[in-house]
Structure 1
Amino acid sequence: MPSDATPDPYADPLRFGQRMQILRERRGMSRTVLGGLLGFSTDWVKQVENGRMRAPGLDVVLQIAQALRVRDLADLTGRQGMHIDLFIGPGHPRLAAVRAAVDALPIGDPPTAPPSPDHLAVRLSRAWAARHSAPDHRERIGVLLPELIRDAQLAVQHAERPGEWRRAQAVLSEVYSLSQFFLAYQPDSSLLWRVAERSMVAAQQADDPHAIGVSAWLLAQAHRDAGPAHYDAADTITQQALDYLEHRLADATDEVLAIAGALQFEAGYTAARRGDTASAWRYWDIAREMASRLPESYYHPATSFSRAVMGAHAVTVAVELHAGPESARQAARADADTIPSRPRRARHRIEQARAYQLDGQPEAAIATLDQAYEAAPETIRYNGYARTIILEETESKGTARRRRASELAVKVGVLAA
């Protein structure tokens, strides 16, 4: 190895400051940018890296790890016992209340009669509508979730007839599914897994095909996003759910057909993550055919599956396959304006930005992330891919692009104003 090579933070027990400097430089991040992310001066960063200042406390170490997009805290500290996944966003102010509702034990007689499953279903439908229509969608559903979770649990506990109990279980499963949209990228991975598993248990108790499909869809995503070691589990869950739904599709409702189509795309998404081009596009073709069987205006409330979203799904497949020119071509073809959900539209814009970044079009990437912010600020604020692109472009050599990226970084909250 040449003498001027960058030291490997995994090879030697270097002091904290050296590890911090190595990881910062590997990200192509200046001391000024890192200091801005942390709320400290450039000189403070320099002193920590040079060992003239003691390693900071745990709270600041965690902030540094997040700013450097370190996936495992041990990479920064050198302490192999500190294996903590850090590819998560900042905690939402409503997280504590949602966590308390999930952790509460619903026993004893409620102060008032629990709501009926039908009443809860109406409230849940309104909550989905609020999520799709609001730019601050996490805040909106974060306000609604604690009471929805509590009331759905009570409805199950106090159901008097088998049919009512199964209906209550189906609603509870979907309440937990909605909760996962709030909990994604939040700093409590164990809570997300607990809710995902409870959703599937409730769906199975309900013996409801739609609830089982939605729960499987979300559980497969949780496994896939946990990393390559979990791809097999994601595939198994997806395929088991598709097998379960297969003989129910001949006379299926639109919502059951939609969840089956969404699961087909999920299989393609995981295949793309594996780098299996043929399988990824084959599953996308199957999903597109299933979408064509739905009414043109139909839009599934949980998965967003519809005719309108298939163009966005094509962008995602190409991006996950790291196909730069193809991903940019799909990004240019897909019409975001046909997607009625604001957070899903913002997510699509982020995928388009990833496509343009892959294709060497950083100006288009930043412009598209601006559009994502306008659609739903809370989507981009908690999305690791968007935050990464923005931070990388704040170091651009182009003055105009650097300024635009820095302005967006301040709006999103990854740089101090």
Structure 2
Amino acid sequence: MPEPAPAPDDTGLAFGQRLKIQRTRRGMTRDVLAGLVGKSGSWVKAVETGRLQTPKLSLLLRLAEALRMRDLAQLTGDQSMPTSLFTGPGHARLPAVRSALNAMPALTSRSASPVAHLRARLDRAWATRHSSPHHREVLGQLLPALIEDSQLAAHQTDSRAERRAAQAVLAEVYALSQFFIAYQPAQDLLWRVTERGMVAAQDSGDLHAIGVAAWLMAQAHRDSGDWDAADAVTSQTLELLDRHADGTTTPVAAIRGALLFEGGYTAARRGEIGAAWGRWDAANSVAERLPAMYYHPVTSFSRAIMGAHAVTIAVELRAGGESVRQADRAVSLAIPSRPRRARHEIEQARAYYLDAQPDVALSVLEVANEAAPETIRYNGYARRIVLEELDERDGRRQRRASELADKMGLLTG
């Protein structure tokens, strides 16, 4: 009988063995992983077989990013250095949001708010999120009551039409919740709202609600390393929209464009250059047909966002020169949402860092921190760049990174 495969948390494993387990779990070849970290396939093999020792911190961080690992201790086995990469700190309002999501609407006797009233509150919550630099704090204040009231409305509605409308609002409330929960130490909660959002959206029968839920589910699968599942969700939802969206409204058209880009994003993660840019082109064609100033409140899909999306595609393909060209062309001020603008600036910083321009990358991260501190604090890519620069021998760059790390809360946990 064959021996069971070792688990990555086995304390007796060498670094190379852990690396091989994590790589194969994600279905990556040595060449693919090597390309993501700027090395050769033979280098990865040498590390995995123990001919090369554990890399320095900068390469450890790149490997963890490429493998979408939440903690360096999973890769090194050293529990004394639990550096969280893609998980930021738990927000002070996370327990209240968790409590609201765990509430039982059937156990209360109060009457639900009208669905139209909930929709108005939800629209205001999206607008407030986009305008606030401290968007997680804002959402943390608004979400508990909005979650409980929306769950109650979906539970109490009598007519089929009212129930479908309530479920559509509830699905979008779960979507808003995902923006708050993402990159916090609450993966169980993230998957719970992802799946609840899809169930509520399907119950509503609303194409826009289904598209939004699928867009977020595809991201959750991709960020967990399950690219096949992300592709399946994206392609199936696009088929549904294309089959039933005759006379498509602008929001449904926008969610279709957002899903097309998500397919390109996943293709870029795979290293599929033609497919990645082909999907971007298809999404851009959708964007060009939208009203000039239109901005989708959930996905940010719009004409303004396509430059930012191009930067992301180039960065994920590890194309340094192309990343910088796209970063120089994309104007962040055209994006009306503060958190999404900061996210774009982080992607620009990734481009400059990939192109060996660390000073420019740090400058852009400083701008992102001014735009939305709660975006950069929770963003794994920003954290990786700053942590890597803290290990830099150039004292000036190290001091600059240290100041930014302090602002991001990396030095205080």
TM-score normalized with structure 1 length: 0.81
Tell me: CA distance 1:85–1:199, structure 2 relative to 1, closer, same or farther (3 Å).
Answer: farther
Gap runs ≥5 in structure 2: 1-12, 19-52, 60-69
Aligned to 1:214: 212
Residue identity matched to 1:385: Y
Deviations 1:270-292 (A, max 9, x none): 00000000000000000000001
- Among 9, 12, 15, the alignment partner of 1:9 is 15
Aligned to 1:378: 374
Offset, 1:103: 1.0
Residue identity matched to 1:97: A
* Paired positions, count: 356
The RMSD of aligned alpha carbons is: 2.3
Write the distance in 1 (CA, Å) between the matches of 2:56 and 2:78: 12
**In 2, are the aligned partners of 1:72 and 1:85 still within 8 Å (CA)?**
no
Offset, 1:250: 3.9
Aligned to 1:37: none
- Among 149, 152, 163, the alignment partner of 1:151 is 149
Aligned to 1:164: 162
Write the distance in 1 (CA, Å) between the matches of 2:310 and 2:58: 30
- Among 332, 340, 355, the alignment partner of 1:336 is 332
- Among 24, 27, 43, the alignment partner of 2:57 is 27
Deviations 1:254-308 (A, max 9, x none): 1000000000000000000000000000000000000011101000000000000
Aligned to 2:124: 126
Write the distance in 2 (CA, Å) between the matches of 1:177 and 1:285: 26
Write the distance in 1 (CA, Å) between the matches of 2:293 and 2:148: 33
Tell whether 2:311 aligns with 1:315. yes
Write the distance in 2 (CA, Å) between the matches of 1:249 and 1:289: 17
Write the distance in 1 (CA, Å) between the matches of 2:84 and 2:362: 27
**In 1, are the aligned partners of 2:150 and 2:166 still within 8 Å (CA)?**
yes
Tell whether 2:95 aligns with 1:96. yes
Tell me: CA distance 1:379–1:71, structure 2 relative to 1, closer, same or farther (3 Å).
Answer: farther
- Among 142, 147, 163, the alignment partner of 2:140 is 142
Does the residue aligned with 2:15 lie in a helix, a strand or coil?
Answer: coil
Write the distance in 1 (CA, Å) between the matches of 2:92 and 2:161: 37
Aligned to 2:78: 76
Tell me: CA distance 1:377–1:273, structure 2 relative to 1, closer, same or farther (3 Å).
Answer: same
Write the distance in 2 (CA, Å) between the matches of 1:327 and 1:303: 22
Residue identity matched to 2:99: A
- Among 320, 324, 329, the alignment partner of 2:320 is 324
Write the distance in 2 (CA, Å) between the matches of 1:71 and 1:246: 44
Deviations 1:153-191 (A, max 9, x none): 110111121111110000000000000000101101011
**In 2, are the aligned partners of 1:216 and 1:241 still within 8 Å (CA)?**
yes
Tell whether 2:282 aligns with 1:283. no
Write the distance in 2 (CA, Å) between the matches of 1:27 and 1:365: 19
Write the distance in 2 (CA, Å) between the matches of 1:341 and 1:308: 11
Offset, 1:393: 1.3
Bigger CA radius of gyration? 1
Aligned to 1:35: none
Tell me: CA distance 1:171–1:9, structure 2 relative to 1, closer, same or farther (3 Å).
Answer: same
Does the residue aligned with 2:198 lie in a helix, a strand or coil?
Answer: helix
**In 1, are the aligned partners of 2:88 and 2:183 still within 8 Å (CA)?**
yes
Deviations 1:78-128 (A, max 9, x none): 9xxxxx9973111010110001111111113433x2101110000000000
Residue identity matched to 1:166: R
Write the distance in 1 (CA, Å) between the matches of 2:386 and 2:362: 7
**In 1, are the aligned partners of 2:57 and 2:391 still within 8 Å (CA)?**
no
Aligned to 1:110: 109
Tell whether 2:396 aligns with 1:366. no
Gap runs ≥5 in structure 1: 1-6, 13-21, 30-67, 79-83
Offset, 1:400: 2.5
Does the residue aligned with 1:139 lie in a helix, a strand or coil?
Answer: helix
Tell me: CA distance 1:347–1:301, structure 2 relative to 1, closer, same or farther (3 Å).
Answer: same
Write the distance in 1 (CA, Å) between the matches of 2:85 and 2:361: 24
Does the residue aligned with 2:107 lie in a helix, a strand or coil?
Answer: coil
Does the residue aligned with 2:105 lie in a helix, a strand or coil?
Answer: coil
**In 1, are the aligned partners of 2:389 and 2:398 still within 8 Å (CA)?**
yes
Tell me: CA distance 1:179–1:11, structure 2 relative to 1, closer, same or farther (3 Å).
Answer: closer
Offset, 1:403: 1.8
Offset, 1:408: 0.7
Residue identity matched to 1:108: L
Residue identity matched to 1:94: R
Offset, 1:416: 4.4
**In 2, are the aligned partners of 1:353 and 1:369 still within 8 Å (CA)?**
yes
Tell me: CA distance 1:165–1:249, structure 2 relative to 1, closer, same or farther (3 Å).
Answer: closer
Write the distance in 2 (CA, Å) between the matches of 1:402 and 1:231: 36
**In 1, are the aligned partners of 2:215 and 2:259 still within 8 Å (CA)?**
yes
Residue identity matched to 1:314: A
Residue identity matched to 1:167: A
Does the residue aligned with 1:118 lie in a helix, a strand or coil?
Answer: helix
Residue identity matched to 2:78: L
Where in structure 2 are the equivalents of 1:381-400 lying within 5 Å? 381-400=377-396
Aligned to 1:193: 191
**In 1, are the aligned partners of 2:86 and 2:381 still within 8 Å (CA)?**
no
**In 2, are the aligned partners of 1:73 and 1:86 still within 8 Å (CA)?**
no
Deviations 1:197-225 (A, max 9, x none): 00000000000000000000000000000
Aligned to 1:50: none
Does the residue aligned with 1:302 lie in a helix, a strand or coil?
Answer: coil
Offset, 1:394: 2.1
Tell whether 2:298 aligns with 1:302. yes
**In 1, are the aligned partners of 2:219 and 2:230 still within 8 Å (CA)?**
yes
Where in structure 2 are the equivalents of 1:251-266 lying within 5 Å? 251-266=247-262
Residue identity matched to 2:74: D
Aligned to 2:8: none
Write the distance in 1 (CA, Å) between the matches of 2:211 and 2:241: 8
Residue identity matched to 1:325: G
**In 1, are the aligned partners of 2:71 and 2:84 still within 8 Å (CA)?**
no
Write the distance in 1 (CA, Å) between the matches of 2:333 and 2:84: 35
Write the distance in 1 (CA, Å) between the matches of 2:278 and 2:58: 37
Identity %: 57
